[in-house]
Every structure is written in C-alpha cells, then in structure tokens.
Amino acid sequence: MGAANVRGPLVNRNQILLGIIVAALLALGAAAWYILGERPSDTLAATTPVTTADDRTLGDPKAPITAIEYAAPQCPFCAHFNAEGFPVLKAKYIDTGKVFYIFRMFPIGEADVPAESLARCLPANQYFAFLDLLYRSQARWDPENGVADTTGALVAMAKIAGMDRDKALACMADTNQQKRIMAVAQDAASRYGISGTPTFVINGEVETAGAEWSEIQAKLDSLLAKK
C-alpha cells in the first residue's frame, strides 16, 4: 500500500479557530475532560500521552509506542490516510503489538460533532468501522461536498450501521456528547497545540499536521530501532 501523497495542515475548512472552541466550551459549560487525573501543569508532563476511559483505542496498551491520532470525519486528508496509511499502520504496527493507537476526534467543521456523536452511540467495538464508513462516504454526507441536508445524510449513514432514525436524531442532539467533543478539542489545542488534522502525537512528540504516512512510518521505525 502506497504512502499518502496528500499533504497539508488543515486548511480553510480544515482550520479551526481556537477562540470558537473556547466560546463553545463556555456556552456548553464543559467540565474538565480527563477523568483519570488532573491535567499536568509542567511542560514535560503536558506532552505525556494520557489515556482516558472515553478514548477509542486499538492494540496493546503496553506496546512500546503510543500513537494518538487527532482527526475528523470531514477531513479529506484524514480520509486519505484512512484509505492508504491506516491499513499498514494496523497490520504492521498495531496488530503486532508495536503500537498502541488512540483516536481522538478534533472537529474542523459543524458536521463533525453530530458525526462523532453518532459513532459514540454505537457499541465501542463498532466505532472504527463506522468511522471508516464516514471517511469512505464523505461525498454522501459532508456539506463540503455539496450535501444540503447533512442531518438526513448522517441518519442514512447511521441506518447502514443498524441505527434507526429516532435514535440517530437523539444521539446527534446529545449535549453531553457535544460537551465532551469540544472539551477534547480544547484539550488537544492547549496540551499539544493541535490546529490541523490529521495530527499524530507519537510517544508525546507532535508530528506536523498533514504529514505523509511515509514520514509517520519512518518515525515509528526509528523509535522501534532504539528499543
């Protein structure tokens, strides 16, 4: 499988204004996100990977490398990585016990929040399959692709996953999920300086947003060579 050739920090639609996130947090009254301890205050600890009960993960938590991917369902670069790089990451690194993978959604558009809310309404073991469906079907639900009725389109995506319309609408309207999503995004911005997707944090080190899969793979191989 080839390396991703699409590069670029997130972008107009991929660019998110941190002020908007903060305003949304204040409006929603979001509480602290981390539930396994207070957020670290010193510089070193601020970049140390910390997992939470809300994280969606793959692989062995005891793997020598912890890789956090910040991405968004609407992000075309993320969809490209999902198709080209992620299968290699999973087969060669996650499934072999070399990488513990954590996915965290970082919204870049209005449709990302209801899309993530739907994904969170499904059993945890269906999360990544539904995310894959969203990535592969961006043209069918993403407003950036000219879809006028995003809600109806997302309901249709949920139906494919076995969720009925009423439940899908209730999930997308869940304010608790909205608070959690925005809190995760604000934490990503303040903890790691995340402003674009996809961005990887590998053993606490932030990789450039939009980095090609070949660069991510080289970083993983370099770290593994030192083990």
Looking at the domain assignment, is residue 7 inside a domain? Answer: no
Residue 211 or residue 91, greater confidence: 91
As given in the structure block, the two tokens for residue 27 are 């409006």
What is the distance between the alpha carbons of residues 227 and 179, in angstroms, rounded to a whole number? 39
Looking at the domain assignment, is residue 168 inside a domain? Answer: yes
Looking at the domain assignment, is residue 81 inside a domain? Answer: yes
The reported pLDDT for the residue numbered 49 is: 63
Looking at the domain assignment, is residue 112 inside a domain? Answer: yes
Contact 193, 206 (CB under 8 A): yes
Residue 195: which pLDDT band, with cuts at 50, 70 and 90?
very high
Determine if the peptide bond prior to 198 is cis (ω within 30°).
yes
Looking at the domain assignment, is residue 125 inside a domain? Answer: yes
Of 71, 79, 74, residue with least CA distance to 141? 74
What is the distance between the alpha carbons of residues 82 and 59, in angstroms, rounded to a whole number? 17
Contact 98, 224 (CB under 8 A): yes
What total number of domains does the chain contain? 1
Of 118, 223, 217, 98, residue with least CA distance to 160? 118
The reported pLDDT for the residue numbered 51 is: 83
**Least confident span in 14-23, 68-77, 119-128, 182-191:** 14-23
Does residue 19 surpass a pLDDT of 50? Answer: no
What is the distance between the alpha carbons of residues 220 and 188, in angstroms, rounded to a whole number? 21
What is the distance between the alpha carbons of residues 172 and 138, in angstroms, rounded to a whole number? 17
Looking at the domain assignment, is residue 159 inside a domain? Answer: yes
Contact 222, 72 (CB under 8 A): no
CATH number at residue 69: 3.40.30.10
Looking at the domain assignment, is residue 136 inside a domain? Answer: yes
Q: pLDDT tens digits, residue range 28-64?
A: 433 333 333 333 333 333 445 678 889 999 999 999 9
In DSSP notation, 139-193 reads: HHH-GGGT-S-HHHHHHHHHHHTT--HHHHHHHHT-HHHHHHHHHHHHHHHHHH-
The reported pLDDT for the residue numbered 210 is: 85
**80 contact partners, CB below 8 Å, separation of at least 6:** 4, 6
User: Which residue range is the domain that position 111 belongs to?
Assistant: 18-225
Average pLDDT over residues 1-23: 40
Contact 172, 152 (CB under 8 A): no
Looking at the domain assignment, is residue 104 inside a domain? Answer: yes
Average pLDDT over residues 122-130: 97
Q: Mean of the per-residue pLDDT values for the chain?
A: 84
